């Protein structure tokens, strides 16, 4: 009995015979394609990872225009490049020669190793105090010591905040063509810019302040508390101490660390009896917790002149001098001045 099912079944078999190899072929192609693409993807992925790693290493070595120096010796190619350019720049200054046109200096970065200081950098690079200090905005050369990261340009000169001066003033003061006073990126604060006056120097007085040689010890005694964070004896918590304390017997003479003008002489909250002396270039010295004040506001004093005596007035735990050095509103560490307070 023919129910019409046989022809349909035969058709299905024929269809399967034709389509199955095709399906297997397509599936094989798909599998091969996937394997191939996966290999390509893996290759692509590895390439991307390597690119990221290389970029990261490069970024660490050279962030923007800043190039990392690992060691101040000839095994470091970046150091060699810096030294070559600095020697050329120094020689021009010694010969009183100048380039017709200057370009922005290349900036290098270096972290000082044990037993290194600013004199190490000067000896190894031919840079000078003026260049290093103005680019890194240090107030005393003692601030550059082991563990500190400094920025080093490959051309000697002076760096200035854009808000502190202008090209006209710099051109006139340092006898530099206005077009050679360059505006560069600030390596410390990338959102700011700096003026660069190439191959010029600070005055003798400005350099003397940087060296700290203009200041003298206000008191012979023992440094009982240092600058920086410490446990406040009154609240028993960590608090910033903006000067140094020099312990000495009550009534001992306190002397002006440098000549200047007395701008304050009187009582001042925690400082007790306080004297503030204004010096050149925005520097001030403060003398707190005095027993007696022996100068008056407006008086001009000489270096070493007695201005008061050791006491314990104000917020004090015993007889001592609280001594501060400031530049404008910034409190500086007197211990950064070599030998100033190293006495007994």
CB atoms within 10 A of CB 66: 16
Domain locations in the chain as residue ranges: 14-63, 66-211, 222-336
Q: DSSP label at 207?
A: H
Residue by residue, DSSP assigns 22-77 as: HHHHHHHHHHHHHHHHHHHHHHHHHHHHHHHHHHHHHHHHEETTEEE---SSTT-H
How far is it, in rounded angstroms, from Cα 77 to Cα 68?
10
How far is it, in rounded angstroms, from Cα 89 to Cα 95?
10
242 pLDDT higher than 50: yes
H or E stretch including 110?
strand 107-111
pLDDT on residue 44:
58
The backbone region for 186, taken as left when phi is positive above 0, alpha when psi lies in -120 to 50, beta otherwise, is beta
How many Å separate Cα 182 from the centre of its chain?
21
- Say which residue the tokens 């004093």 belong to: 301
Nearest to 72 by CA among 129, 133, 152, 144: 152
How far is it, in rounded angstroms, from Cα 311 to Cα 297?
20
Please, what is the end-to-end C-alpha distance for the chain in angstroms? 128
Q: DSSP label at 314?
A: S
SS3 string, 246-312, reads EECCCCCEEECCCCEEEEEEEEEHHHEEEEEEECHHHEEEEEEEEEEECCCCCCEECCCCEEEEEEC
Selected residue with higher pLDDT from 198 and 236 = 198
How many Å separate Cα 76 from the centre of its chain?
22
Q: Are the CB atoms for 106 and 100 separated by under 8 Å?
A: no
Bridge partners (DSSP) of residue 273 are 267, 290
How far is it, in rounded angstroms, from Cα 73 to Cα 201?
27
pTM for the model? 0.72
For 251-290, write each residue's pLDDT tens digit. Answer: 999 999 999 999 999 999 899 999 999 999 999 999 999 9
Give CATH for domain 222-336. Answer: 2.70.70.10
| Mean pLDDT value across residues 82-94 | 98
Is residue 37 very low, low, confident or very high in pLDDT (cuts 50, 70, 90)?
A: low
| Mean pLDDT value across residues 175-186 | 95
Is residue 63 very low, low, confident or very high in pLDDT (cuts 50, 70, 90)?
A: very low
pLDDT on residue 42:
58
Q: Are the CB atoms for 82 and 154 separated by under 8 Å?
A: yes
Q: Are the CB atoms for 70 and 77 separated by under 8 Å?
A: no
pLDDT above 90 covers what percent of the chain?
Answer: 69
340 pLDDT higher than 50: yes
| Mean pLDDT value across residues 102-123 | 97
| Mean pLDDT value across residues 324-339 | 88
Nearest to 113 by CA among 151, 149, 80, 147: 147
Bridge partners (DSSP) of residue 283 are 327
pLDDT on residue 1:
41
């Amino acid at each position: 009995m023919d129910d019409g099912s046989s022809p349909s079944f035969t058709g299905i078999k024929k269809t399967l015979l034709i389509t199955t190899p095709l399906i297997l072929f397509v599936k094989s192609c798909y599998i091969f394609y996937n394997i191939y693409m996966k290999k390509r993807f893996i290759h692509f992925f590895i390439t991307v990872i390597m690119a990221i790693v290389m970029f990261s290493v490069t970024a660490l070595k050279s962030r923007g225009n800043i190039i990392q120096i690992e060691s101040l010796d000839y095994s470091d190619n970046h150091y060699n490049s810096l030294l070559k350019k600095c020697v050329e720049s120094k020689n021009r200054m010694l010969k009183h020669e100048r380039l017709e046109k200057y370009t922005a200096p290349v900036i290098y970065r270096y972290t000082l190793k044990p037993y290194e200081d600013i004199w190490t950098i000067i000896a190894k690079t031919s840079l000078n105090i003026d260049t290093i200090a103005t680019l890194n905005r240090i107030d005393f050369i003692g601030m550059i010591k082991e563990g500190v990261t400094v920025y080093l340009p490959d051309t000697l000169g002076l760096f200035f905040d854009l808000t502190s001066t202008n090209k006209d003033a710099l051109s006139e003061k340092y006898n530099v063509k206005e077009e050679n006073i360059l505006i560069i990126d600030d390596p410390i604060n990338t959102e700011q810019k700096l003026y660069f006056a190439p191959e010029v120097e600070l005055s003798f007085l400005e350099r003397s302040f940087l060296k700290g040689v203009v200041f003298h010890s206000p008191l012979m005694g023992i440094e009982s508390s240092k600058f920086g964070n410490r446990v406040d004896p009154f609240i028993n918590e960590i608090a910033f101490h903006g000067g140094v304390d020099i312990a000495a017997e009550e009534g001992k003479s306190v002397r002006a660390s440098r000549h200047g003008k007395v701008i304050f002489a009187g009582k001042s909250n925690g400082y007790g009896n306080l004297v503030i002396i204004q010096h050149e270039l925005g520097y001030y010295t403060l003398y707190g917790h005095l027993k007696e004040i022996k100068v008056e506001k407006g008086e001009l004093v000489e270096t070493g002149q007695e201005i008061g005596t050791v006491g314990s007035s104000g917020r004090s735990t015993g007889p001592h001098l609280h001594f501060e050095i400031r530049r404008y509103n910034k409190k500086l560490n007197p211990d950064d001045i070599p030998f100033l307070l190293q006495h007994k």
